[in-house]
Amino acid sequence: MTLRPILLAAAVAAALTTLSGCSQPAGNDTAKPAATAQDAAARAEQLDRIYADYWEAFLELNPIMATFQGDPRYNAELPDMGSAEYRERSEQFTRDWLARVEAVGSEGLQGQDLLNYEIFVADARETLEGFKFPGWMMPVNQMGSLASYAAQFGSGTSLQPFKTVKDYEDWLKRAGRMPVLFDTEIANMREGIEAGVVQPRALMEKVVPQLDALIKDKPEDTLFWGPVRNFPEDFSDADRQRLTEAYRSLIADQLMPAYRELRAFINDEYLPATRDSVGLDQLPEGQTWYAFNARQSTSSDLTPAQIHQIGLDEVARIHGEIRKVMAEVGFEGSLQDFFKFMQTDPRFSFESEDALLAYYRGLEDKINQKVPELFSLTPKAPFEIRPVEPFRAQSAAGGSYMPPSEDGSRPGIFYVNTYDLPTRKTWDAEDLFLHEAIPGHHFQLALQQELEDVPAFRRFGGETAFIEGWGLYAESLGKDLGVYTDPYNHFGYLQNELWRAIRLVTDTGLHSKGWTREQVIDYMRENSAESETQATAEAERYIAWPGQALAYKIGELKIKELRARAEKALGDGFDVRAFHAEVLKDGSVPLDVLEAKIDRWIASQQS
């Protein structure tokens, strides 16, 4: 996983409207007379001003995104992001800024200037296409909702800062808006019921206990009391007393009643109206909607059918690699027998949550010793390892990453899930660390934020196929980084590569081929070493986020293809450190843009 699911659920849709792009070329001015270098420089300078103005306007429209990047100016604000007025405003916002950029055009632009233009235009066009789909009618699922993300924000341990008196007052104002947003979500879900655009029952049954875990009779027992429990030492007694009473009133009189109302609506009114089907293609215009999601997630023109076949082929190939591990360790039995052995043998279990966290923390020094051999470009920002909060652990992925704030006040955070400890295996740790931390998401996302000469929409945006493709590619570097020395840990890498291949099969199966939730779980269990707990959580994740899980394997395959191309073309002159720097130095880009720039790099190395 990456930064996006960490944000407030409604804010994700709003704050990232112009940040999810596809790989299609943007703009073509080749029919015009060639621009002079002076004209091109003037055009680039004009576009840079537009991008800067755009980002300022974007943060004002999307204050959660400002908080996410560590900009405190809008920390007290929370617009009604699910309202029709806000959705219309967001669409017009995208349309207006796209028109301003296209009016300048791309004639004569080169290098970063051309990348900026192509990415902005492609992202905006795709965003406008996405507005026609009614995702706003389904704002709540088990993977995230305004209610769950608000609890993270208000706990004092997430994105919302609680260091000054003003910080505390900002949250009072922002959290005071939650009941309004909850009412909008309920109204939108009622519209969804009327239109036949509702969540699957299997997902919403998980939401009710999540809300129950957040609803408490006493404010002191809620997650929202965390900031009061942890006042900074320099707060005066008067401020402590005033803020304590204000937070008690906020929680008791506004937040908990709103949570109870949402819980009652979902349990009593929405659940009876949910659907037994699980695929997005079962909703009105669902096939078109899913095909759009697949293009957006993979930044490619691959169809769901093509992606499904790629997945089947990769599953078969990786099964062959796992059989080599079985031979290496002398295991006698079938592939399924080996999967069961890897799941049940006690040698692969952690004794405690502390032991699990200590193991992950011990990997950092070990891997860092080898990093200079593969990377010349590394981020300045530090990162921390933290356990996933208990209230969301049951439905959370095994690991996830939150980037550092721009101002350096918050490090990157690698969240490790310790729920259902027996299912968290030692052989799963090394590859997960490589993916989420070093050299995976922490390297790529922190480096992207540290770029100095690109517009903010590129520093803080992202192409899922590139981001998750890099994370999965990073797992393949384990042996060069001093891990996977044990064949069982090497199996862990293959198992997780297999898992991403299975995602291609099951996500497309769910949303374009009529597969059921149970069919997906059975396929996962039969073809991998995942536990029933993990298989169930993953299946329901794919149902909740149609198409998102396609990004990993498609992105990884493209990066591996480009590395193989460079190695073949450059022979002994291939430098893996230079290759990795070239892939990372421009931040996240669509896969076709990545391919074009690597081809240019190869040509430059040959000259």
- Sequence-ordered alpha helix ranges (H) in 402-486: 429-436, 441-449, 456-459, 464-475
Over residues 255-281, mean pLDDT: 98
Q: Which residues contact 172 (CB under 8 A, 6 or more apart)?
A: 243, 246, 247, 250
Look over the chain and give the mean of its residue pLDDT values, rounded to a whole number: 91
Over residues 49-68, mean pLDDT: 96
Q: How does DSSP assign 284-349, residue by residue?
A: TTHHHHHHHHHHHHHTS---HHHHHHHHHHHHHHHHHHHHHHHHHHT--S-HHHHHHHHHH-GGGB
Q: Where does the pLDDT of residue 22 fall: very low under 50, low under 70, confident under 90, or very high at 90 and above?
A: very low
pLDDT value at residue 204? 97
Residues 476 and 337 in one domain: yes
- The pLDDT tens digits of the residues spanning 496-534 come to 999 999 999 999 999 999 999 999 999 999 999 888 888
pLDDT value at residue 8? 35
Which among 104, 133, 162 is the end of a domain?
133
Whether the Cβ atoms of residue 508 and residue 311 lie closer than 8 Å to each other: yes
Whether the Cβ atoms of residue 600 and residue 593 lie closer than 8 Å to each other: no
Inform me whether the pLDDT recorded for 320 exceeds 80.
yes
Is the bond preceding residue 439 a cis peptide, omega within 30 degrees? yes
Q: Where does the pLDDT of residue 395 fall: very low under 50, low under 70, confident under 90, or very high at 90 and above?
A: low
Q: Does 2 or 44 have the greater pLDDT score? A: 44
Inform me whether the pLDDT recorded for 390 exceeds 80.
no
Over residues 213-222, mean pLDDT: 97
Residues 430 and 299 in one domain: yes
Residues 183 and 87 in one domain: no
pLDDT value at residue 1? 31
- Say if 565 falls within a structural domain: no
Listed residue (393, 548, 425) closest to 493, CA to CA: 425
Whether the Cβ atoms of residue 466 and residue 554 lie closer than 8 Å to each other: no
Residues 389 and 316 in one domain: yes
Residues 304 and 205 in one domain: no
- Say if 383 falls within a structural domain: yes
In the chain, pLDDT over 70 holds for what percent of residues?
A: 93
Which among 274, 305, 336 is the end of a domain?
274
Residues 347 and 469 in one domain: yes
Displacement of CA 528 from its chain's centroid (Å): 23
Q: Where does the pLDDT of residue 396 fall: very low under 50, low under 70, confident under 90, or very high at 90 and above?
A: low
> What CA–CA distance (Å, rounded) separates 434 from 456?
27
Inform me whether the pLDDT recorded for 9 exceeds 60.
no
Q: How many domains does the chain have?
A: 3
Q: Where does the pLDDT of residue 5 fall: very low under 50, low under 70, confident under 90, or very high at 90 and above?
A: very low
Residues 184 and 238 in one domain: yes
Residues 191 and 237 in one domain: yes
- By residue range, what is the domain housing residue 476? 292-552
Residues 529 and 399 in one domain: yes
Range from 38-52, 257-271, 363-377, 522-536 carrying the lowest mean pLDDT: 522-536
pLDDT value at residue 13? 38
Over residues 532-547, mean pLDDT: 92
> Taking CA 542 as the corner, what is the angle to CA 540 and CA 545, rounded to the nearest 5 degrees?
110
Q: Where does the pLDDT of residue 428 fall: very low under 50, low under 70, confident under 90, or very high at 90 and above?
A: very high
Q: Where does the pLDDT of residue 15 fall: very low under 50, low under 70, confident under 90, or very high at 90 and above?
A: very low
Whether the Cβ atoms of residue 465 and residue 300 lie closer than 8 Å to each other: yes
Residues 492 and 532 in one domain: yes
- Say if 447 falls within a structural domain: yes
Over residues 398-417, mean pLDDT: 83
- Say if 223 falls within a structural domain: yes
Residue 399 φ/ψ, nearest 5 degrees = -155, 155
pLDDT value at residue 418? 77
Which among 511, 532, 552 is the end of a domain?
552
> What CA–CA distance (Å, rounded) separates 547 from 503?
9
- Say if 603 falls within a structural domain: no
Residues 398 and 519 in one domain: yes
Inform me whether the pLDDT recorded for 421 exceeds 90.
no
Inform me whether the pLDDT recorded for 28 exceeds 60.
no
Whether the Cβ atoms of residue 160 and residue 171 lie closer than 8 Å to each other: yes
Residues 191 and 104 in one domain: no
- Say if 396 falls within a structural domain: yes
Over residues 69-81, mean pLDDT: 94
- The pLDDT tens digits of the residues spanning 156-205 come to 988 899 999 999 999 999 999 999 999 999 999 999 999 999 999 999 99
- Say if 573 falls within a structural domain: no
Displacement of CA 426 from its chain's centroid (Å): 24
- Say if 227 falls within a structural domain: yes
pLDDT value at residue 422? 84
Please give the model's pTM, rounded to 2 decimal places. 0.85
